[in-house]
Amino acid sequence: MAKTSAPKTSASMNIITVKVTLRGTKPPVWRRLVMPGTMTLGDLHQAIHAAMGWHDGHLHAFDREWSSS
């Protein structure tokens, strides 16, 4: 599940914070990614795999939950 907050403006680009959570894990396993607002879903895919230490062998789904925090 990925949660995003409203883009934050920096001097040169929008920055998006994404929280990636693995469902059904105890204790919870999650990563917070800080990405450029210009990223593609392909970029996000690569970032999730890198953050989780995966080697492109795990399936995932994008589930939008927007928050303003």
pLDDT at position 55: 81
What is the mean pLDDT of the segment spanning 27-41? 92
- Number of folded domains in the chain? 1
Please give the Cα distance from 3 to 20 (Å, whole number).
7
What is the mean pLDDT of the segment spanning 12-23? 85
Q: Which residues span the domain enclosing 9?
A: 2-66
Where is pLDDT greater, at 65 or 15?
15
Cis peptide before 27 (omega within 30 of 0): yes
pLDDT at position 34: 94
Mean pLDDT estimate for the chain: 78
pLDDT at position 11: 47
What is the mean pLDDT of the segment spanning 1-20? 68
Residue pointed to by tokens 């990925």: 2
Query: What residue spans of the chain are helical by DSSP H?
Result: 41-52
